[in-house]
Amino acid sequence: MNPAKDAAWDIRIERLEGGYGSRRIIKGMDATFPGGAITAILGESGGGKTTLLRILLGLTPPFSGRIFMGGRDIFSLTPSQFRRIRRRFGVLFQDGALLGALTLAENVALPLTEHTKLSRKVLRNAALRTLELVGLEQFADFYPSELSGGMRKRAGLARAIVTEPPLLFCDEPTSGLDPITSAQMDQLLLDMKKHYPSMTTVVITHDLGSVRHIADHVLVIGDGRAAFSGSKEELYASPDPYLRSFLDREAQEERRMTAPPLDESVRAALAEWLNQ
Amino acid sequence: MKKTSLTLQDLAAPLLSGLNRFGEMALFLLDAFRQSFFTHRLPGKVVRQIYTIGAQSMFVILLIGIFTGLVLGLQAFYAMSMFGAQGMLGSLLSLTLIREMAPVLTAVMVTARAGSAMTAEIGVMRISDQIDALAVMDISPVGYLVTPRLLASLAAFPLLTAIFNVIGIFGGYLSACVLLGLNEGRYFSGIESSVTMSDVSGSFLKAVVFAVIVITVCCYQGYNAHRRSDGKGPEAVGNATTSAVVVSCVLILMSDYVLTSFLL
Ligand SMILES: Nc1ncnc2c1ncn2[C@@H]1O[C@H](COP(=O)(O)OP(=O)(O)O)[C@@H](O)[C@H]1O
Ligand SMILES: [Mg+2]
């Protein structure tokens, strides 16, 4: 497994349906994430982006449909075959999901610690060098609870890339970051692509600036389906009103505030409390 | 349609779900044992858990042990004096301690101290995606979280029980001999003449069984905190911790009865 040399894995999603309990969140999705490219997944918050990711990662079983990774139907594999594929994933969870009991350096080195016999020193060096990429080398011995949300996210990205995975999944890597740090994160993803040309990257994001900057391919989720799946250029050229409202950051008409939400009784109660 | 009478199904449902839960716990335990062959750098993890489960419980075990011995010595002294049988105090006290009090109270105290913390820690890891993150890194969450605790407790419970025995017998000596004036030769010879090796190994056997019960229940409750119907998020972790302690203690006493009836 060397993402610098091996053939890139693409991901193909066919008629996928999934959700939680009996609640359908993904309602029949078809999409392709090309190998060796960066695909951005866009969608409203609560639109099912994380849910789609959890299905891709095998954490939430789908209701129906198929997913092919590198040509293999992942739901037809035995658990141990699937685990062998999942080893090739690097994942940044939405909240970082760092282990609270370990320092940043231990967190970042964790996949190596638990799967190799490398010495402590080698592990620590690998962790420090990866932390340096995300600008956190001086926080190597801090615990996740001692950092800000954005720093935890960067450390989570460091842990995701420490194994040089052929498939990299990032759930909102730049949300909660300041513009300078998010630009650095975007640049890091682009640099990764340069060093590992066959790495397939899937980035969930709200950040249209990031999409413009890093994405080759875009999937827009609308109402649990693929509202758009294609190249970035096609997306920008699309006349579809839903996509336009997304790209031009226009609020949809039914969500506009036509009148203040509070009625008089609530307002009177509030006034009483404020004037107490 | 409104139901007017209980059907067989209504009566069987809680029983079935209980059985189901029990089966799941058994599989969870088997997986924890199985993962001891696959977990990387296991000895270091086990040692760290022996420290948290064992060494950090030492103080409370010493405290409970000495007071249990003191109060047993006191009660036994007055009970035996009614029949003029103070000479029996040593045997009565040591057998009660070694066979029952030490393994049971040790297990209950470790549940309260380390078991509840385990449930809370694993539960928080569950609701903050840390367990999913482990799985995605192809690190078995059971192997990483449960196996070291299980192996550590198999060592820690018998040791803590042994410490409880010794300190309890010392407590009995303090109250019966030092405070109430029983002849210390009679106290210790009573112990020596009545305690056999099978009492001591029975004590250890109980400790091992309780260790398995406590770790399985506490880790299972935390691990499945997200599946609870009585709360979500932090509330689920709180409720999981409560159930872990209650279920562990109930199972400790139930299995104690079963074990005792076989051992006697
Ligand atoms: N664990 C869960 N159980 C039940 N429903 C959930 C769970 N996680 C998310 N959802 C629901 O699924 C929908 C999509 O959530 P999510 O995939 O997290 O959205 P996004 O990541 O696009 O913001 C939301 O309506 C949310 O309420
Ligand atoms: Mg999300």
pLDDT digits (tens, 9 = 90+) for B132-156: 999 999 999 999 999 999 999 999 9
Phi, psi of A167 (to 5 degrees): -125, 120
Shortest Cα distance, chain B CAs vs residue A11, angstroms: 17
Percent helix, percent strand, percent coil in chain A, to nearest 5: 40, 20, 35
C-alpha to C-alpha distance for A187 and B229, rounded to whole angstroms:
44
Across B214-243, average pLDDT: 95
Quick one: which of A145, A21, A224, A25 has its CA closest to B232? A21
| C-alpha dist (Å) from residue B150 to A129, B33, B49, B144, B194 | 35, 8, 9, 11, 33
Q: Do residues B71 and B64 touch, judged by C-beta distance below 8 A? A: no
Pick from A91, A99, A100: CB nearest B136: A91
| A38 in reach of chain B (CB within 8 A) | no
C-alpha to C-alpha distance for B111 and B256, rounded to whole angstroms:
15
pLDDT of residue A185: 87
The residue to which tokens 């086990």 are assigned: B46
pLDDT of residue A236: 87
Where exactly are the structural domains of chain A? 11-88+167-241, 99-164
Pick from B121, B136, B144: CB nearest A57: B136
Quick one: which of B154, B156, B203, B158 has its CA closest to B55? B156
- B139/A99 touch (CB, cutoff 8 Å), yes or no: no
Taking a 5 Å cut-off on Cβ, the residues next to ion ligand 2 are A 50, 94
- A93/B41 touch (CB, cutoff 8 Å), yes or no: no
A43 lines ligand 1 (CB under 6 A): yes
Q: Do residues A98 and A174 touch, judged by C-beta distance below 8 A? A: no
Residue A2: half-sphere exposure toward Cβ, Cα within 13 Å: 2
pLDDT of residue A243: 85
Residue A94 with chain B: CB contacts under 8 Å: 129
Cβ-based neighbour number of residue A200 at 10 Å? 26
C-alpha to C-alpha distance for A67 and A36, rounded to whole angstroms:
17
- B133/A93 touch (CB, cutoff 8 Å), yes or no: yes
Residue B130 with chain A: CB contacts under 8 Å: 97-100
ipTM: 0.89
C-alpha to C-alpha distance for B102 and B179, rounded to whole angstroms:
23
- B41/A113 touch (CB, cutoff 8 Å), yes or no: yes
| SS3 assignment, position A223 | coil
pLDDT of residue A250: 64
| A111 in reach of chain B (CB within 8 A) | yes
C-alpha to C-alpha distance for B204 and B211, rounded to whole angstroms:
10
pLDDT of residue B101: 95
Q: Identify the residue among A1, A55, A93, A164 best suited for mutation to test binding to B, counting B beta carbons within 10 A and taking the highest.
A: A93
B4 pLDDT tier (thresholds 50, 70, 90): low
- Among residues of chain B, what percentage have pLDDT more than 90? 83
A22 lines ligand 1 (CB under 6 A): no
Pick from B41, B133, B138: CB nearest A97: B133
Residue B123: half-sphere exposure toward Cβ, Cα within 13 Å: 29
Mean pLDDT of chain B: 93
The identity of residue B198, as a single letter, is S
Q: Which helix (H) or strand (E) holds A30?
A: strand A23-33
pLDDT of B88-111, one tens digit each? 899 999 999 999 999 999 999 999
B169 pLDDT tier (thresholds 50, 70, 90): very high
The residue in chain A having the minimum alpha-carbon distance to the alpha carbon of residue B125 is A99
| B42 in reach of chain A (CB within 8 A) | no
Cβ-based neighbour number of residue B115 at 10 Å? 29
Q: Which atom of ligand 1 is nearest to the CA of A44?
A: 22
| SS3 assignment, position A196 | coil
**Helices B58-82 and B102-110, axial angle in degrees (round to 10):** 150
| C-alpha dist (Å) from residue A140 to A146, A182, B64 | 11, 20, 41
Where exactly are the structural domains of chain B? 42-263
| SS3 assignment, position A259 | coil
Q: Which atom of ligand 1 is nearest to the CA of A54?
A: 17
C-alpha to C-alpha distance for B165 and B96, rounded to whole angstroms:
10
The identity of residue A125, as a single letter, is N
Q: Which helix (H) or strand (E) holds B19?
A: helix B8-34
* A to B CB pairs, distance under 8 Å: 51
The residue in chain A having the minimum alpha-carbon distance to the alpha carbon of residue B126 is A97
C-alpha to C-alpha distance for A4 and A126, rounded to whole angstroms:
18
- Second CATH level (architecture) for the domain A11-88+167-241: 3-Layer(aba) Sandwich (3.40)
A46 lines ligand 1 (CB under 6 A): yes
> Which pTM was predicted?
0.91
Q: Do residues A156 and A104 touch, judged by C-beta distance below 8 A? A: no
Phi, psi of A67 (to 5 degrees): -130, 125
Return per-residue pLDDT of chain A as tens, 276 residues: 455 456 889 999 999 999 998 899 999 999 999 999 999 999 888 889 999 999 999 999 999 999 999 889 999 999 999 999 999 999 999 988 999 999 999 999 999 999 999 999 999 999 999 999 888 999 999 999 999 888 999 999 999 999 999 999 999 998 878 888 888 889 989 988 888 888 999 999 988 888 989 999 999 998 999 999 999 999 988 888 888 887 887 666 667 777 888 888 999 999 999 998
A51 lines ligand 1 (CB under 6 A): yes
pLDDT of B59-81, one tens digit each? 999 999 999 999 999 999 998 88
pLDDT of residue A152: 92
- A59/B135 touch (CB, cutoff 8 Å), yes or no: yes
